[in-house]
Structure 1
């Protein structure tokens, strides 16, 4: 690390906002811990339509500001980095006050590409943090993949939430010395085992309600398994699949067995996780979902899909893995997990591998 005082400007769309205060709590946790060691400000990128709806809530402070950007659907997505770059440049007056020595871009495409475009003529080193979908989805599109390869190659360091993401970025042409794995941590003061040891009769899903999170397969699997368990199914989160998912629940006649909580504050999420008998995450693609690490820290076993970095963090002692988009196999895994005798202390011990202190030190070591 340089002897010069470090000042980081974090730029991302993944951050809590007034109208979605529970969004991306993992970034908030990391940034707050970084801010304890170096000066740090956050510039939140907000899609134009979302900003128009909530612009009166976007109150700028010394530590946080909001940059609205134009966004086109479909093929126009490859233009988004330029729109974001322009949005960042419009905040130059606020950025000048921060006098950043480094940029930290969280989300590979378009956010990190836009940051690297912005930083090109400013002699600002850029650190990049990638998560999962930002790599797994966008590398499937040739134009976006080309932009990522071209611009991410100029980053000082790229931190990946899993080894699988690290290997994918190396495979598209990025320097193996620039790309490294840096697992997220767990907020130990929030996520810990239930002190009484008592659990509720519930199977829990926590995350965005999206098709690609496997939420429909989960409801179908619960339909197959519900007669063999007295556990109910609970969803925490919100998203575009909510209404269709509730319709699927009604079609299966499961209205009395399935509860939708919507988005909840993180302390309530933690309470639900520690009291659940099982957490299920049947995603189609992932980096390393923080909710799995948080479940382990809470001593709660998991059932998840064998995708992305999930096999790196879920062991036979902490959960059961299945292939994605397989409701029958998912139902069998859920029933097997509910009847298995898990050792909570082993699950909790496994979670100690993932801590924010080490994550922060890895970031600072690359500055």
Structure 2
């Protein structure tokens, strides 16, 4: 089977970690016998003007490249930042159409596999209609959570879900939301993300701490994620301040990630007198991130909403217990008290959950075995079964 992947969420030469979970899934599919994968990952058109740093990088993305063995095409499409969102899907469709038509002739793909509901999957549905190709669409979490609440985008989301030949969700809670939007339940397959056991695995804690310069005698809480409001770092910092004020042991908080809230969080940390206890690590590559997981006593995620957060899977694969908010797909990952704990999204609950976890003796080997149990190869088999079904429509 020949599969054309379509998504703006895919690694490229300027953003190697962008949409890496989609790359992992489709690389695993490409490694199965009898399947060939190519990727169309459009990027916004922008002239090479360096003073616009956030947008300049798009001009530096290669038109075509190889990413971890996959051939990836990057056609350009017009987008107006922060305005005209209802037109994004059509602009994406028009920008990609020439490239996809050319691939239909040279590659003769059997199915379009799209990721992220809007504008990506919407544009893919239009491409499928233009070329008479079946289309599968995958929901990731933020796409459904965000766009289902926007009155102007919700009809486009419904159109995508009803016109696609099959829908894939990473968790049951997301499937329920899509069914509530009018998607027939039988049309939605739940296929959670997998884990790359060669990138995330249990390792010696002391050695990991030595590599990172983390004190060997500290109790370490780790949080990984974009520094944006909905991830809840501001609540975590406040909770951590209360823990430090009453602690009898030395506890540190390491925050990996970057984003628009970085300055706000820095000021909050200083105001609470936590400058020596909270470390902002910025963005780090996977080769270093695995050390942060293994150096930690506990992983924490305080999100307002999530699909299937890969950071939780990564932590568990390293044998590290997780305390996280009881929202959306998270309870489907942290299924038992042997893996960590689930809490409400408020400061007192964060404090209680973190304290309880730090005072618990955890079986790292059992947590790691659970975290490693769902490989990307297993995910690929589930995905291919859906793609085969729609390709024979």
Q: How does the TM-score come out when normalised to structure 2?
A: 0.86
Partner of residue 216 from structure 1, selected from 234, 240, 252: 234
Task: State the Cα distance separating 1:343 from its structure 2 match.
Answer: 1.6
In structure 2, the residue matched to 1:3 is none
Matched, 1:83 2:91: yes
Matched, 1:18 2:13: yes
CA pair 36-56 structure 1, distance change in 2 beyond 3 A = same
Task: State the Cα distance separating 1:312 from its structure 2 match.
Answer: 1.0
RMSD over aligned Cα, in angstroms? 2.0
In structure 1, the residue matched to 2:201 is 192
Q: Is the 1:48–1:71 Cα contact (8 Å) retained in structure 2?
A: yes
Partner of residue 379 from structure 2, selected from 354, 359, 363: 359
Counterpart mapping for 1:294-309 below 5 A = 294-309=314-329
CA pair 351-11 structure 1, distance change in 2 beyond 3 A = same
Matched, 1:237 2:257: yes
Task: State the Cα distance separating 1:244 from its structure 2 match.
Answer: 1.8
Q: Measure, in 1, the Cα distance between the counterparts of 2:120 and 2:188.
A: 17
Matched, 1:203 2:221: yes
Of 122-131 and 71-80, the range deviating more from structure 2: 71-80
Q: Measure, in 2, the Cα distance between the counterparts of 1:24 and 1:221.
A: 31
Matched, 1:316 2:313: no
Partner of residue 169 from structure 2, selected from 160, 171, 184: 160
Task: State the Cα distance separating 1:195 from its structure 2 match.
Answer: 4.3
Q: Is the 1:224–1:328 Cα contact (8 Å) retained in structure 2?
A: no
Q: Is the 1:30–1:360 Cα contact (8 Å) retained in structure 2?
A: yes
Q: Measure, in 2, the Cα distance between the counterparts of 1:230 and 1:24.
A: 36
Counterpart mapping for 1:330-341 below 5 A = 330-341=350-361
CA offsets 1:110-130 (integer angstroms, 9 cap, x no match): 110111012112111111111
Alignment size in residue pairs = 361
Partner of residue 269 from structure 2, selected from 245, 249, 264: 249
Matched, 1:140 2:149: yes
Q: Is the 1:293–1:354 Cα contact (8 Å) retained in structure 2?
A: no
Structure 2 unaligned residues grouped into runs of 5+: 47-53, 210-217, 389-393
In structure 2, the residue matched to 1:61 is 65
* SS of residue paired to 1:350: helix
Q: Measure, in 1, the Cα distance between the counterparts of 2:284 and 2:102.
A: 32
Q: Measure, in 2, the Cα distance between the counterparts of 1:64 and 1:94.
A: 14
In structure 2, the residue matched to 1:29 is 24
CA offsets 1:257-281 (integer angstroms, 9 cap, x no match): 1222221111211121122111111
Q: Measure, in 1, the Cα distance between the counterparts of 2:373 and 2:22.
A: 19
Task: State the Cα distance separating 1:58 from its structure 2 match.
Answer: 2.2
In structure 1, the residue matched to 2:310 is 290
Q: Is the 2:341–2:353 Cα contact (8 Å) retained in structure 1?
A: yes
